[in-house]
Structure 1
Amino acid sequence: MAHFPVNHPARPVYRVLSGAIGLYILVFGVWGVAETAGESLFGRGSHWVLGLRTNLAFSIASVVFGAFLLIGASRRTNLGHYMNLTAGAVFLVTSILMMSVLQTEANILNFSMSTVIVSMIFGLVLLGTGLYDKIGTSDHAEAQRNHRYHPVADMHRR
């Protein structure tokens, strides 16, 4: 069973990080939609927005994902925890898939290597924030702390 820390003291920092990534992606998407309006959905033009190459399909997906991340960051429930874990995995898988088809006609989202790198970084950060932003009751968090600092656990650390 996976261990996710509950009520981590740096949880607000992680929520701000995921919110900042969501805001960047939303701004990128809106700007990209404005930049690529009138183009074909999966065009392979040379439209660059905020340092990343884009097309209309990628820009629309970015608007959706940016809004998704902002909603998750604004919630004080475990919804944000699950949304960040999911978004982190989606960003990592998408970046690897798009890197594998970068120089082919299958590059339907018009990725460049810089887009792949940024997507990987965002995926790793979102996965990290998802690992540490789980909340629970104070009793649950106290039980986990007691288990973590139990004398038997201390013997294994030596």
Structure 2
Amino acid sequence: MPHFPVNHPARSLYRVLSGLIGVYILVFGVWGVAQTIGDPLFGRGSHWVLGLRTNLAFSLASVVFGIVLIIGASRRSNLGHYMNLTAGVVFLATSILMMAVLQTEANFLNFSMSTVVVSMLFGLVLLGTGLYDKVGPEEHAEAERRNRSHPVAEEHLRR
């Protein structure tokens, strides 16, 4: 079973970061839909929004992802934890896959290299926030504090 810190002191900062990413993605998606409405769903036009190239399909997906991230960031339960972990992996996987097909006809989301870089950065930040925003009972947090200050661990750190 992987170890995730429970009730990390900077948990609220991590939720704010994931919420800001969600707002950016939502604004990007809404603005992209407004610019690409009427174009083919998977068009390969030259529509740029907030520094990223887009098409109608990518803009609609961004609206959905933005809403999901905002909902996850606004919850004080582990829902946000799991949503951020999942979204981080999805963003990283999508950016790698789209980078592989960047200059081909398989680039159906109309990614550019700047879109790949931003998707990777968002994926890394979301993965990081998901690692540290787990919520649990105070007993779990206290047990984790005790484990961190275990005499064997302290002796190891002194060496």
RMSD: 0.5
Aligned partners of 1:156, 1:86: CA distance in 2, in Å? Answer: 34
Which runs of 4 or more aligned residues in structure 1 lie more than 4 Å from their structure 2 counterparts after TM superposition? none
The Cα offsets for residues 78-130 of structure 1, whole Å up to 9 and x where unpaired, read as 00000000000000000000000000000000000000000000000000000
Q: Please name the residue that 1:83 is paired with.
A: 83
Letter of the 1:19 partner, please give it. Answer: G
| 1:8 correspondence with 2:8 | yes
Q: Percent identity?
A: 80
Report the secondary structure of 1:53's partner residue. Answer: strand
| 1:133 correspondence with 2:133 | yes
Letter of the 2:17 partner, please give it. Answer: L
- Structure 1 residues 33-42 or 147-156, which shifts more? 147-156
Deviation at 1:153, TM superposition (A): 1.3
| 1:116 correspondence with 2:116 | yes
Aligned residues: 158
Unaligned 5+ segments in structure 2 are none
Q: Please name the residue that 1:61 is paired with.
A: 61
Letter of the 2:145 partner, please give it. Answer: R
Aligned partners of 2:52, 2:22: CA distance in 1, in Å? Answer: 15
Deviation at 1:76, TM superposition (A): 0.4
Deviation at 1:57, TM superposition (A): 0.3
Aligned partners of 2:155, 2:101: CA distance in 1, in Å? Answer: 50
Report the secondary structure of 2:53's partner residue. Answer: strand
Letter of the 1:13 partner, please give it. Answer: L
- Structure 1 residues 145-154 or 41-50, which shifts more? 145-154
Letter of the 1:72 partner, please give it. Answer: G
Aligned partners of 1:154, 1:66: CA distance in 2, in Å? Answer: 43
When the two structures are superposed, what TM-score results if normalisation uses the length of structure 2? 0.98
Deviation at 1:152, TM superposition (A): 1.2
Report the secondary structure of 2:29's partner residue. Answer: helix
* Equivalence map 1:27-42=2 (5 Å): 27-42=27-42
When the two structures are superposed, what TM-score results if normalisation uses the length of structure 1? 0.99
The Cα offsets for residues 7-35 of structure 1, whole Å up to 9 and x where unpaired, read as 00000100000000000000000000000
Report the secondary structure of 1:106's partner residue. Answer: coil
Aligned partners of 2:140, 2:12: CA distance in 1, in Å? Answer: 19
Aligned partners of 1:140, 1:28: CA distance in 2, in Å? Answer: 39
Report the secondary structure of 1:8's partner residue. Answer: coil
Deviation at 1:156, TM superposition (A): 2.1
